[in-house]
Structure 1
Amino acid sequence: MKRHGALPRGIRGGSIAALAATLLFAAGCGGGGSDGGGSTDQSLKVSSLGYCSEIPLWWAKDKGLFADHGLDVELVEAGGGGSTTIAAAVGGSVDVAFTAPGEVIQAIQGGTPLTWIATAYGFPTDEKAATSGAMVKEDSDVERFSDLEGKTVALTAVGGVSEATVAGAIRADGGDPSSVKWVALPGGQLLQAVLSGKVDVAQTPLPVESMEGLRNIGSPHTLVTGGVSMPFAGYAQTTDFYESHQEQSEAFFDALTEAGEQLNDPANAEEMYDVMSSHCGQTVEALKQTPMNPIMADVNMPGLEKYVDILVEGSVVQEDTLPDLTVMVAPFAQSGS
C-alpha cells in the first residue's frame, strides 16, 4: 500500500490528540526548534534516551566523525520516550530528536511538521539475530503466531507499536488477531505471568534471564519484516529547523552513515562494545550476549511503507491523514525507492 498521499488534514484518535496537546504546549514554551535561519551554525543538540542501541550516535561523537563533518554535536539526555524528545525539539531545547517513525507520523497528523533525517537502527530480518521473542510455557499448545487467535498476550503497553507488531506477526502467519486479548504488564512481570498461566504468551526483549519452563515461538519483529529492511528508530527535526539547516542535517546523516560502516566491520567489534558499555551502563560481557538491531542510517522506503501498513492495521496511526513519506524523509536519507 503506497503512502505518498495528502498532507495532514487534522487530528484523529486519542493518542494523536494527546501527543498534539504536548507538542502545542512545547511550541508555546520555546522557539519551535529553529534559530531563524542560522544555517552557518555548526552546533547540533541531539537527544539521547541512553539505549545501548544508540551506538551509532556515540561512536560518531567519540570517534570524531561529527567533527570530521564540520559539526559540533552535544548529546542531551532525555527521559520518557520518542514523543518526549519530539516535544523537546518543538520547544527548542534540542535540535534533533531520537524517536521512532510511528511517533513522527503521529506528531505530523497532530499538526506538527517534522522531517526524518537519519535512521539509527532497523528491525532484524534474520531470526538468528532477533532482538525480541514471544515466550510461552514449555508445554503450551501454541507453536506459531497464528496459534495466538483467542489467546491472551502480555506486553508492556497495549494499543501501541508493540501490539501492532505482534498483531502484524499473527496476520503474516495467516492468523486473525481480532480475537486476541491484550494485557499490559510491567516488564519484570511478563515471564512470571506466562509461567503462572495468567497469560498465554509474553512479548519480551532477548535474551531473557532464564528459559526454564519457557519456549520462544519466534520474534514478531522479524516475522513482520518479511525479509524487508524497515526502520525501527532514528532522528527527526522540526521541518522549520531542517529547512534552515539542511547542510548540517545532511552532514549529521553522513557522519552516522560512516559510523555504521565502521560498526558493521567485525574488526571494530571489541571497541564497539567498549563504547556501548561506557554510555549505556551494561557490561561488555552482557552486551556480547545481547542481539543487536541492524545498524543503518538510510531509510529503505519500501520498508518504511511496509512499517506504516503495520501501524495503520494496528490503529497506531490514521490512514486518512498519512503524510507523504517522500516528503517526511529527507531526500539524502532515502534509499530503495
Structure 2
Amino acid sequence: MKRIVLLVCLALAGASMASCSESDAKSSGGDTPTVKVVLGPASATLPVYRALDQDYFTDAGINVEVTTLQSGPDIINAVMGGSGDIGFTGTEAALIAVGKGLPLRVVAGASLTDQTEEASTVGVMVAGDSSISSFADLAGKTVAVNALGVGMEPAIRASVDAAGGDGEAVNTTVVPIPNMIAALEAKRVDAIAVLEPFLTLGAQSGLKTIGDPLLATQPDASQTLYVATSEYAEQNAKALESFKEALGRATEDLAADADLAPDLAAKHLELDPALAQAVRFPRFDAAITSQQLAVVGDFALQVGNIEQPLDYDSLIWASS
C-alpha cells in the first residue's frame, strides 16, 4: 500500500515558487553529457524507465541520472534550483508555475487526458447501491477530493454545471486518495474523486464510476509533461534533443506492446504484478502541441488558477 500511495502523490498538485540557478549538463566520462532527470512515482514516467532499460539514452548520446521526488511542486523546485535538469510534472502545475513567473520551458510530453470513459484513468466513484448516477446528481452531495481549487475539484464543479446541475452546490472535503474508498464505504462522503490504481481497486470493491471530470472538461489535452528552465534549454539544446529522441522511441515501444506497461510498473514502481495487469495506464505521448497545453490553460484561466492567457507556442521548447 505504501508504494500505491506514492503512485498518486503528483495528482492535482499546484506549483510553488523557487529561485533559479545555473544548471549545465555535465560530462560523465568522455564527452557524453549527463542529464539529471527528476521523476515522480507515476505511471506516466514509464517510458523513461523503458529508455533506461533499453539503453536508448546511451544510444542518443547522453547519460541519464534519475531521482524521484513526491510532488509536482517539489520537482519544479528541484529544476529551478539546479538539482535537476529535466523534471516530470502535471501540466496544470507547470502552467500555474509559468503563470507565477517561473522561466520554464516544456521539453516533451508524457501523457494525455483520456478520450473515452472506457479508457479513463481518473473518475468519480460512488457506492454500488448509490442513487447518484451522473454529475448532475452531485449537487448537494459531499465529494472527497485530495486538493481544493485545483485538479479534479474545479473540474467536478464544471462537469456538474455542464450536466444541468449546480456545481456550486457540491460540497467538497479533502481526503487523502488512499483513504477515499474507506471514507466512501463508511458513508462519510457520497462520492470520491480518484485515479488509478484506486479506480481499479474501487471497482474491485463494488464501487461504480459516474464519469471522468477531466474527460468532461479537458479532453485530449496534455496531462503530464517534462520541463526544464529556459536557461538550461538554451545552453543544452543537444542534450534535450537526445532526451526527446530516446523518450519518443520508448513511448513508441509502449504503444506497440500492451504488456510493457504492466511489466515496467511492477519492476520500477513496485506495483503489485496482479494489480499492474488490471489497472488502466495513461495515454503515453512524448510529442506535445500548443493546443494540448491551451486546453488545460484555458480551463485554469476559467477557474482562476492563472490570471492571464499564456503564450503556449513559445512555452514549448524546440531546438533552433
Q: TM-score, normalised by structure 2?
A: 0.85
Deviation at 1:82, TM superposition (A): 1.1
Q: Which residue of 2 aligns with 1:204?
A: 194
| Higher RCO (C-alpha under 8 Å, 6+ residues apart) | 1
Question: Which residue of the partner structure matches residue 9 of structure 2?
Answer: none
| Equivalent residues of 1:125, 1:223 under 8 A apart | no
- 1:229-260: per-residue Cα shift (whole Å, max 9, x none)? 21111210010000111222122112111111
Question: Partner of 2:123 in structure 1?
Answer: 133
- Quick one: structure 1 residues 77 and 189, their matched pair in 2 at CA, closer, same or farther if it must change by over 3 Å? closer
Which residue matches 1:323?
A: 310
Q: What is the deviation of 1:143?
A: 1.4
2:211 alignment counterpart: 218
Q: Distance in 2 between matches of 1:126 and 1:106?
A: 27
Segment drifting more, 157-166 vs 199-208: 157-166
1:168 to 1:251, Cα distance in 2 relative to 1, 3 A: farther
Q: Which residue is 1:314 aligned to?
A: 303
Aligned residue in 2 for 1:6: none
Distance in 2 between the 1:32 and 1:164 partners? 36
Residue aligning to 2:10: none
After TM superposition, the structure 1 = structure 2 runs for residues 1-337 of structure 1, keeping only pairs within 5 Å, are 19-20=16-17, 23-24=18-19, 27=20, 31-34=21-24, 42-78=33-69, 80-205=70-195, 206-209=199-202, 212=205, 214-225=207-218, 228-266=219-257, 269-315=258-304, 317-320=305-308, 322-331=309-318
The separation in 1 between residues aligned to 2:200 and 2:313, in whole angstroms, is 36
**Cα distance in structure 1, aligned partners of 2:54 and 2:106:** 24
SS of alignment partner, residue 224 of structure 2: strand
Structure 1 residues 258 and 210 mapped into 2: Cα distance closer, same or farther (>3 Å)? closer
Distance in 2 between residues matched to 1:76 and 1:202, nearest whole Å: 31
Cα RMSD, aligned residues only: 2.3
Conservation of the 8 A alpha-carbon contact between 2:261 and 2:281: no
Following the alignment from structure 2 to structure 1, what is the Cα–Cα distance between the partners of residues 260 and 306?
43
- Deviation for aligned residue 1:326: 0.8
Aligned letter for 1:183? Answer: T
User: How many Å apart are 1:209 and its aligned residue?
Assistant: 4.6
Structure 1 counterpart of 2:243, which letter? F
Helix, strand or coil at the partner of 2:283 = coil
Segments of 5+ residues of structure 2 without an aligned counterpart are 1-13
SS of the residue 1:264 aligns to: helix
Task: Find the aligned partners of 2:234 and 2:76 in 1 and give their Cα distance.
Answer: 17
Amino acid paired to 2:291: P
Any idea what the Cα deviations from partners look like across 1:42-96, whole Å, max 9, x if unmatched?
A: 2200002232331111011111111121111111122x31111111111111100
Figure out how many residues of one structure are paired with residues of the other and give that number: 299
Shift of 1:182: 1.3
> 1:5 — aligned with what?
none
Deviation at 1:106, TM superposition (A): 2.1
Unmatched segments (≥5 aa) in structure 1: 1-14, 333-337
Indicate if the aligned counterparts of 1:123 and 1:221 stay in contact, CA closer than 8 A: yes
Q: Give the aligned residue type for 1:53.
A: A
Instruction: Please tell me whether the aligned partners of residues 52 and 279 of structure 1 are also in contact (alpha carbons under 8 angstroms).
Output: no
TM score, norm. by length of structure 1 = 0.81
Cα pair 2:233 2:240 within 8 Å, conserved: yes
Contact 1:167 1:314 in 2 (8 A): no
Aligned to 1:4: none
Identity %: 26
What residue identity is the alignment partner of 1:288?
A: Q
Deviations 1:269-311 (A, max 9, x none): 3344333321100133221100011010111332321111222
Q: What do residues 14-49 of structure 1 show as CA deviations (whole Å, max 9, x unaligned)?
A: x76xx12xx03xx4xxx343469xxx7622000022
Contact kept? 1:114, 1:239, Cα under 8 Å: yes
Residue pair 1:50, 1:279 contacting (<8 A) in 2 also: no
